């Protein structure tokens, strides 16, 4: 017996054969490991006595289970361990010894007391890819709690969200947790390629604060390169216009004219071609500077028809635009254009619907074999496997 009994899949995912020891909780880490699981890796989710915190984040619920938890934990097996128990700690160490990839998001140094820090794990598993996600890094910010909302506040993101004369707002989703999970997955894959070429594992680290500053791209870039401190502008863009919702006869339509040609096309469809050649508006810099003069001229035309009518005609003319949907409307639109956004993880009555992995491959499609596991659902089988002295670490 040299591996956890495999779930059959056809064809195997691009990461098939790799074992992931997931010591992460809540969102950033579990989102990363779900991506790895979708791509075919075998993910063992290690949970403490109370289980992952998100099991208790409710409502909303599906069959009594938190949908927050369900949304980020498919394609995993659950193993419940109390790291303060010597036997469970030994099982965790053995899992780390066998793993190709270990992902954790404890506070910096938090796993050292259990012998599961990078240096200790590397001593018995030198080829391991060990990924750590923290809130503010392992240096001067190591003591700070790593919650997305706090990072949104401290990074400056909240200062950019909301009406210009209103209060700051958080994002509608834990955006930096999600981006940190994505960045960690990228780092793991890069480290795997390095291992394929050299045989060497390594420690991959990221943190929410660094991810936030990188993820704000042009806004933080404006400050770094020009000393410009961005500010709240509601739905307006600091460098483009029109690039915001504008009212029509029955609701707002987002118009995103990203270049001068698209703006001229917009003006032609609106029946105001003269605006496209007006020296105040012909170039984007002029439109952005003179947005307060241009906006009412566009609105005057847009209010003559409904958002749906304008959408069809503007898209036909090559002008990027779209209505403001609810989440239900967004999923419905994705279905309408053939993106098949909802998938079932697992089979039969145990299957759980979720959102499709956005990646597509010509040969190795993402998998949806396992529904999010119940706490310790696979514990007995995994413990038996870890206790087998003949089982060896796998290398993908």
Catalytic residues: 177
Contacts for 259 with CB less than 8 Å, ≥ 6 apart: 284
What is the SS3 assignment for 178? helix
Q: Would you state the structure tokens that stand for residue 368, as one six-digit string?
A: 């949806």
How does DSSP classify residue 227?
Answer: -
The string of DSSP codes covering 270-299 is TT-HHHHH-TTTSSHHHHHHTHHHHHHHHH
How does DSSP classify residue 136?
Answer: S
How does DSSP classify residue 32?
Answer: H
Dist CA 109 CA 59 (whole Å): 33
How does DSSP classify residue 29?
Answer: H
Dist CA 58 CA 50 (whole Å): 15
Dist CA 359 CA 349 (whole Å): 26
The strand pairing partners of 345, in sequence order, are 352
Q: Would you state the structure tokens that stand for residue 205, as one six-digit string?
A: 């680290």
Dist CA 169 CA 299 (whole Å): 27
Give the helix ranges, DSSP H, for 169-290: 175-198, 208-215, 217-226, 260-269, 273-277, 284-289
């Amino acid at each position: 017996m040299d591996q956890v009994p495999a779930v059959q899949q056809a064809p195997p995912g691009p990461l098939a054969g790799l074992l992931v020891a997931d010591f992460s909780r809540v969102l950033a880490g579990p989102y990363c490991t779900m991506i790895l699981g979708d791509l075919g890796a075998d993910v063992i989710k290690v949970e403490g006595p109370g289980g992952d915190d998100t099991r208790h984040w409710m409502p909303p619920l599906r069959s009594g289970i938190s949908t927050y938890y369900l949304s980020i934990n498919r394609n995993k097996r659950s193993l419940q361990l109390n790291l303060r128990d010597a036997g469970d700690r030994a099982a965790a160490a053995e899992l780390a010894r066998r793993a190709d990839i270990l992902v954790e998001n404890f506070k910096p140094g938090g796993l050292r007391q259990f012998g599961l820090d990078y240096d200790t794990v590397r001593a018995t598993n030198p080829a391991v890819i060990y990924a750590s996600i923290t809130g503010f890094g392992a240096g001067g910010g190591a003591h700070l709690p790593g919650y997305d909302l706090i990072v949104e506040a401290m990074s400056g993101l909240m200062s950019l969200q909301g009406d210009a004369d209103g209060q700051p707002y958080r994002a509608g989703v834990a955006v930096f947790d999600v981006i940190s999970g994505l960045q960690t997955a990228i780092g793991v894959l890069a480290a795997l390629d390095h291992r394929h070429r050299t045989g060497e594992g390594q420690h991959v680290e990221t943190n929410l604060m660094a991810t936030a500053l990188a993820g704000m791209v042009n806004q933080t870039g404006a400050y770094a390169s020009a000393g410009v401190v961005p500010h709240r502008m509601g739905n307006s863009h600091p460098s483009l216009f029109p690039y915001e919702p504008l009212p029509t006869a029955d609701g707002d339509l987002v118009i995103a004219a990203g270049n001068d040609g698209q703006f001229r096309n917009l003006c032609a469809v609106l029946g105001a071609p003269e605006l496209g050649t007006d020296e105040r508006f012909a170039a984007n810099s002029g439109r952005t500077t003179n947005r307060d003069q241009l906006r009412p001229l566009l609105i005057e035309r847009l209010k003559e028809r409904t958002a749906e009518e304008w959408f069809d005609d503007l898209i036909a003319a090559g002008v990027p635009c779209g209505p403001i949907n609810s989440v239900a409307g967004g999923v419905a639109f994705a279905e309408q254009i053939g993106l098949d956004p909802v998938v079932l993880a697992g089979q039969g009555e145990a299957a759980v619907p979720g959102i499709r992995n956005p990646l597509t491959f010509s040969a190795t499609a993402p998998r949806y074999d396992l529904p999010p596991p119940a706490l310790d659902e696979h514990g007995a089988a995994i413990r038996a496997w870890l206790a087998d002295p003949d089982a060896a670490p796998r290398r993908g």
